[in-house]
Chain A
Amino acid sequence: MSGTWEPVIGLEVHCELKTATKLFCGCRNAFGDEPNTNVCPVCLGLPGSLPVLNEGAVELAMRIGTALHCEIRPSVFHRKNYFYPDMPKDYQVSQYDAPINVGGRLELPDGSTVGIERAHLEEDTGKTGHIGGEGGRIHGAAHSLVDYNRAGVPLVEIVSRPDIFSAAQARLYAGELRAILVASGSSDGRMEEGSMRVDANVSVRPAGRAELGTRCEIKNLNSLHSLARAIEHEIGRQVALIESGERVVQQTRHWDEDQGRTVTLRSKEEAFDYRYFPEPDLVPLSPSADWVADVARSMGPMPADRRRKLTELLGEAAGGRTDQIVGVVEKDLEGLVEAAVAAGIGPALALARTANEASANPDGAREVDPISYVTILRLEQEGLLSATQAKSVLATLLDHGKESAALVAKLGEKGTPAEIAARLGFEALGDDSTARLVSDAVEANPGEWARYLEGEAKLAGFFTGIVMKASKGKANGKVVAAELERLKG
């Protein structure tokens, strides 16, 4: 089956903007407050109330558009009409055929690029809770309660092109998009709190065919994990249908996380006719060229830019280390790599320690004193700390976060690196004792030594291993190698 069918996926991501107030009124935009406390005539849609657009929300939408390389255009709000109790006006103010952000792209860490159709502004709905039913579902509920705190919270809906071809890539896209939302200061991107919500459009087609198959939209994807699982499942379901001679019917499906399957929510025939028309209570939105330029200027670099920059810095050392680069940028730690490389630490070592040790304690790493961090890396690079010791020291250092500078300062300016290491609780082996362990190893293994002298160079590893074991890892590999060379004469 695989190889004959190609899945095609497009994602629609709703993200709540991190504004202080709602999209059309001055009510607080906050998660988790007492129900119906952040409400007013406007966001409750009371008769006679009118919306006034929040400039801050427009700016954040423009930041998202800029980050996604979209064109920022004059836009128009429309009303999307349908009845739902958690929607105070029974229409949602959204953007339809003239969205603010059009035609962008998102570069994924794996090197692929996904096209962005649009990223438009709209208002969120309230939340309905069902009382007395099973698991909060509407079926069997005695009554329902609506919390309008979320009604009118600004959303940007980001619609991808159908440029995604696997569940893994979909997950990568959603993760990268989240990173961009956070990096641009637009949204928290918290899927579990609903500040980022993902719907997936999934279809399959015979591999190699250009024409798209019939798609289904999957809703209720509450984590990146669910997203990947649901898409996998849906691809399988569609392929099975087609292979058994049936057809995929266009419909909206609900992901049931517990059952691990998608179920029909509504078919195309039951789809709403939203009767979109231009929202007459708002005027068209036309950000000035200056405003667009100001937003672009105020943007920090996006993850893809930062990965590119880090890759350039690492040069050849970047090869084959994409995962480490992605991880370091994701945790916002490339500053440590840059500091280390600038201080003369080898790029491979700088990346490895940051991607592993520093990333294991990202909070500590963001607060650690970079000079102290680099000091430890230098001790390792100069052979005064073994790799094992350096890792251990770094862990201690990262645990101290903000106090790391003080910790290293306590070591004093003076003293040999060995003394410093000792004060840190490690006894680095001096060169003399290493030399003694090397000669002990040579004497104990005359046969191997003879073969080494005859040119069997790989036996250097054999002797190094013995020395390391004897020193409990405290010996420096480079000193061992130098001593072996010296004895070889």
Chain B
Amino acid sequence: MTAAVGRRGPALALAAAVRAGEVSAADVVEEHLAAIAGCDGELHAFLVVLADEARAAAAAVDRQVAAGEDPGPLAGVPIALKDNLCTRGIPTTCSSRILEGWKPPYDATVVERVRAAGAVAIGKTNLDEFAMGSSTENSAFGPTRNPHDPSRVPGGSSGGSAAAVASGMAPLALGSDTGGSIRQPAALCGVVGMKPTYGAVSRYGLVAFASSLDQIGPFARTVADAALLFDVIGGHDDRDSTSLDRPAPRCSSRLDDGVGGVRIGVLRELVEGEGMDPEVRGRIREAAEALAGAGASVEEVSVPELRYALPAYYLLAPAEASSNLARYDGVRYGLRVDGPDVGAMNAATRAAGFGPEVKRRIMLGTYALSAGYYDAYYGQAQKIRTLIIGALDSAYGRVDILLGATTPTTAFALGDKVDDPLAMYLNDVCTIPSNLAGHPAVSVPFGTDGLGLPVGAQLMAPALEEGLLFQVAAVLEGAAPALGLPRVAAATLGSGGRAGGEDS
């Protein structure tokens, strides 16, 4: 157990050590299972820990290494999977009662790809039911807590994945981002979280929330790890018709290219906007200065059309969700509550199986698509989407990257916003524009507020500019103030200094 730090350090270093035969994948897995045993009682990031499967997978990696084969760029690296990603033979719940007992007969494409790259799936993480929420409090199986302050939320909907990575229970995790569900919890938990260009990562096997907005993306403690994981999961997939016809990305190679000559636009609406915490605003201003100091040209940019993003999103996403979630009717799989006829059985099943937020969105979406209302709601929201794409495109005519906050505030207390859906929805105000536009964006930890809670700086880029995005993110990460150790974390997590520091 001499390389304890390395094993929990960044995925890159872990994989290198495993590939070189310096550390066994088996030891790495045990280390992380121990971390889960130590932390997850308090955090509840995992819905299921795949101890046996992970041990078997690690053993297979070690056999490959012993046989002189290369298990791949993520050799032996434990990875946590958001529980809306299908895993063959392993329950996939979406944190909903309605999927009770359902085991997918297939793996999501991203699950296949991380396994093929040598990663070891260590568990399925908690989320807001069907990814609808910003705090992970909408889970049917209880909330996840923020490792930096367990009385606070980790953000959502991928709160389990964010908390798992922040606390050192896994060096990598996958999440999904429909309106900010990767970036917002990444910001609140002090880790890197990235949403790719729509179509850059296959959605096959991601249980749909809002199909035209959903993207799978990486969580990691360093920009380099996030880029590596994105490189592994990206690229065309024949099983997803919206998957872009492009080869696998190679963002990892651009991390040292710096920001000399890169034009950064500080996005006024995501810094000065209504409800923006002054401390968060301060950190983003500092981030802008840091990039300028590193050689980027920095200017202010305003895209006033973004004020329409949130209302448009809350029509489009529920509309698609109302259709995507129709299939949970008790006929074929999951929960069934019997009734005197099929219609009554459908209704009873859905009444019992869905939580209040899911029901609220199904009703919103059903209404938005109804005859006579379609043009006023869904149709109008699509026009706003087009408007926002155009407005961002014209901003990108002047700058290469936009910088703003990921969230208006740092992590809030559990229970704070559960009774106020609108306040909860406002948490996504900074992240939603990228989903509507289909553009990539990343949240990078950049300092804390006065309570020591992490602040996330968000970088946004035009479609398919993930390379530049990671390149700038790496510079931002290098300039970021040290982030304190999470209060709940694996014992050895902090040995390398701030989260994201290299092991040594």
Residues in chain A within 8 A of chain B (CB atoms): 41, 44-53, 79, 81, 83, 85, 88-91, 144, 146, 273, 275-277, 280-283
Contacts and interface: CB of A to CB of B under 8 A. Distances in A.
B366 interface: yes
Contacts of A50: 203-204, 239-241
Given A88-B332, A275-B370, A280-B211, A48 B204 contact: yes
A81 B208 contact: no
Contacts of A79: 323
Contacts of A273: 370-371
Interface in B212-250: 212, 238-242
Interface of B: 84-86, 92, 94, 99, 102, 104-106, 108, 203-208, 210-212, 238-242, 319-320, 322-323, 326-327, 329, 331-333, 342-343, 346, 366, 369-371, 374, 378
A48 B108 contact: yes
B319 A83 contact: no
Contact of B327 (A88, A146, A275): A88
A41 B107 CA distance: 11
Contacts of B240: 50, 52
B378 A91 contact: no
A49 B240 CA distance: 9
A44 B210 CA distance: 19
Contacts of A89: 326-327
A49 B369 contact: no
Contact of B319 (A49, A88, A90, A277): A277
Most A C-beta atoms less than 10 A away, residue of B319, B327, B333, B346: B327
B461 to A, nearest CB: 23
B326 A83 contact: yes
A90 B327 contact: yes
Given A81-B369, A277-B320, 7 more contacts: A41-B106, A49-B204, A79-B323, A83-B343, A89-B327, A277-B378, A281-B242
A283 B242 CA distance: 6
B240 to A, nearest CB: 5
B327 A47 contact: yes
A281 B326 contact: no
Contacts of B210: 280
A81 B210 CA distance: 15
Contacts of A90: 326-327, 329
Nearest to A272: B371
Contact of A83 (B94, B211, B329): B329
Which of A52, A146, A283 has the most chain B CB within a 10 Å cutoff?
A: A52
A52 B374 contact: no
A interface, over-half SS:
loop
A128 B206 CA distance: 29
B102 A83 contact: no
B110 to A, nearest CB: 11
A79 B240 CA distance: 17
B104 A275 contact: no
26 contacts: A41-B105, A46-B106, A47-B99, A47-B207, A47-B208, A49-B205, A50-B239, A52-B238, A52-B240, A53-B241, A79-B323, A83-B326, A83-B346, A88-B327, A88-B332, A90-B327, A91-B323, A273-B370, A275-B322, A275-B370, A277-B319, A277-B320, A280-B210, A280-B212, A280-B242, A281-B242
B370 to A, nearest CB: 6
Name the residue in A50, A90, A273, A276 with the highest tally of chain B Cβ atoms < 10 Å from its Cβ. Answer: A50
Contact of A282 (B94, B99, B241, B366): B241
Contacts of B322: 81, 275
Give the 10 A-B CB pairs with smallest separation, nearest first: A90-B326, A275-B369, A280-B212, A280-B211, A47-B207, A48-B86, A48-B205, A85-B331, A48-B207, A273-B371
Contacts of B92: 47-48
Contacts of B205: 48-49
A476 B259 CA distance: 105
Given A47-B102, A83-B326, A280-B211, A275 B366 contact: yes
A92 to B, nearest CB: 11
A132 to B, nearest CB: 14
A125 to B, nearest CB: 12
A81 B326 contact: yes
A85 B342 contact: yes
A428 B85 CA distance: 85
Contact of B329 (A41, A46, A52, A85): A85
Contacts of B212: 280
B457 to A, nearest CB: 30
A49 B333 CA distance: 14
B30 to A, nearest CB: 31
Contacts of B370: 273, 275
A300 B94 CA distance: 52
A83 B102 CA distance: 21
B208 A48 contact: yes
A51 B369 CA distance: 22
B369 A277 contact: yes
A38 B108 CA distance: 21
B329 A48 contact: no
B369 A52 contact: no
A91 B319 CA distance: 13
B323 A81 contact: yes
Contacts of A91: 323, 326
Nearest to A273: B371
